[in-house]
């Protein structure tokens, strides 16, 4: 089994050509033709995550977020990225990242979140111009049973396991149609409003963006890691659906860089 065989399991529903221009999805470290026997799947590549891969004798790491976004001018011990690259090479570990290509897949990141929230009648929030049925940003769907805003916020918090949520002012309306985008999806808020969604769930919303809804939609920030965390079981499922006997394991290491303090 080669790294490329594993890559093909994912790119079948999320081709690398679907990644955004600023992205660096694909191979980060290693060789696509290298033999692989065990993969560790995570949202991010951290030093602790790499240590877990080493301890579990994984020769492949598959992350959602790329380790390397920009070119490296040297490989020293100055940054965690350089240290990870050096250590991965030393231990002969290949690193793959499936980022915005998986974000932009109809069967990708946002759909996983939508399904877990119980949304039905799913459609891409902002379809691409070239392949609008299968490629695009975000997702929009409907709750089988409409609910009050506070009940909806409670469901979101429970599903994503968040201790707290940031949101815009309550609108007083029942939540029926829900738009969402795993990760940083503020640019697609106009799409959610134009399609008359009652709520829009995403992450990394700036302060002034919370003024934009003007009571027309409930804007909810669930956190970047929290709204993309279901990418991990998705990647595992895509691999084992094609290659059932391949050892793919979801990492135990929590790579969320954001921590919460909740006042007692």
- Tell me which residue has tokens 């026997």: 37
In a domain, 261, yes or no: no
pLDDT for the residue numbered 103:
98
59: nearest Cα among 248, 233, 259: 248
Same domain, yes or no, for 77 and 108?
no
Which of 76, 102, 128 corresponds to the end of one domain?
102
B/e letters for 187-202, b = 16+ CB within 10 Å, e = fewer, are ebbebbbeeebbbbbb
Same domain, yes or no, for 132 and 43?
no
Same domain, yes or no, for 121 and 196?
yes
- What is the pTM assigned to this prediction? 0.96
Stretch 44-70: mean pLDDT, rounded?
97
Same domain, yes or no, for 110 and 160?
yes
- Residues 249 and 39: their CA atoms lie apart, in Å, by 6
- Regarding beta strands 175-184 and 136-147, do their DSSP bridges make them parallel or antiparallel, or are they unpaired? antiparallel
Stretch 213-234: mean pLDDT, rounded?
97
In a domain, 198, yes or no: yes
* 8 A C-beta contact, residue 40 and residue 239: no
174-189 pLDDT, tens digit per residue, is: 999 999 999 999 999 9
In a domain, 191, yes or no: yes
Same domain, yes or no, for 89 and 33?
yes
pLDDT for the residue numbered 263:
84
Stretch 192-219: mean pLDDT, rounded?
97
Which of 72, 102, 132 corresponds to the end of one domain?
102
Same domain, yes or no, for 119 and 201?
yes
Quick one: DSSP state of residue 104? T
pLDDT for the residue numbered 71:
87
- Phi, psi torsion values for 177, nearest 5 degrees: -95, 130
- Total domains in the chain come to 2
Same domain, yes or no, for 40 and 80?
yes
Looking up residue 109, the CATH number of its domain turns out to be: 3.40.1390.30
Same domain, yes or no, for 145 and 200?
yes
Reading phi first (left if > 0) and then psi (alpha if -120 to 50, else beta), residue 12 is in: alpha
Order of strands, sheet of 218-221, starting from the edge strand that comes earlier in the sequence: 119-127, 136-147, 175-184, 199-203, 218-221, 166-167
- Residues 133 and 43: their CA atoms lie apart, in Å, by 26
In a domain, 238, yes or no: no
258: nearest Cα among 187, 203, 219: 203
Same domain, yes or no, for 129 and 56?
no
Q: Which domain holds residue 14?
A: 3-102
Same domain, yes or no, for 69 and 167?
no
CA angle 201, 157, 189 (to 5 degrees): 5
- Residues 198 and 147: their CA atoms lie apart, in Å, by 11
Same domain, yes or no, for 141 and 27?
no
Q: Which residues are bridge partners to 199 per DSSP? A: 178, 218
Contacts (Cβ under 8 Å, ≥6 apart) of 263? none
Which of 59, 74, 102 corresponds to the end of one domain?
102
Same domain, yes or no, for 38 and 19?
yes
108-137 pLDDT, tens digit per residue, is: 999 999 999 999 999 999 999 999 999 999
């Amino acid at each position: 089994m080669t790294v490329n065989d594993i890559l093909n399991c994912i790119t079948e529903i999320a081709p690398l050509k679907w990644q955004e221009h600023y992205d660096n999805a694909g191979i980060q470290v290693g060789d696509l033709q290298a033999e692989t026997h065990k993969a560790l799947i995570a949202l991010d590549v951290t030093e602790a995550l790499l240590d877990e891969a080493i301890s579990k004798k994984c020769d492949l790491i598959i992350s959602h977020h790329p380790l390397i976004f920009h070119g490296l001018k040297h490989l020293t011990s100055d940054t965690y990225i350089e240290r990870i690259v050096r250590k991965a090479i030393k231990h002969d570990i290949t690193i793959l990242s499936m980022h915005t290509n998986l974000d932009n897949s109809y069967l990708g990141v946002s759909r996983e979140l939508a399904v877990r929230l119980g949304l039905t009648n799913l459609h891409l929030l902002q379809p691409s111009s070239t392949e609008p049925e299968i490629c695009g940003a975000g997702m929009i769907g409907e709750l089988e049973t409409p609910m009050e805003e506070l009940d909806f916020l409670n469901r979101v918090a429970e599903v994503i396991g968040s201790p707290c949520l940031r949101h815009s002012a309550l609108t007083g309306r029942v939540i029926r149609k829900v738009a969402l985008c795993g990760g940083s999806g503020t640019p697609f808020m106009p799409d959610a409003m134009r399609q008359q969604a009652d709520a829009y769930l995403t992450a990394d919303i700036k302060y002034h963006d919370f003024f934009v809804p003007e009571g027309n939609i409930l804007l909810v920030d669930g956190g970047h890691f929290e709204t993309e965390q279901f990418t991990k079981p998705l990647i595992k499922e895509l691999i084992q659906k094609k290659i059932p006997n391949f050892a793919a394991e979801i990492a135990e290491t929590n790579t969320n860089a954001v921590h919460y303090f909740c006042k007692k």
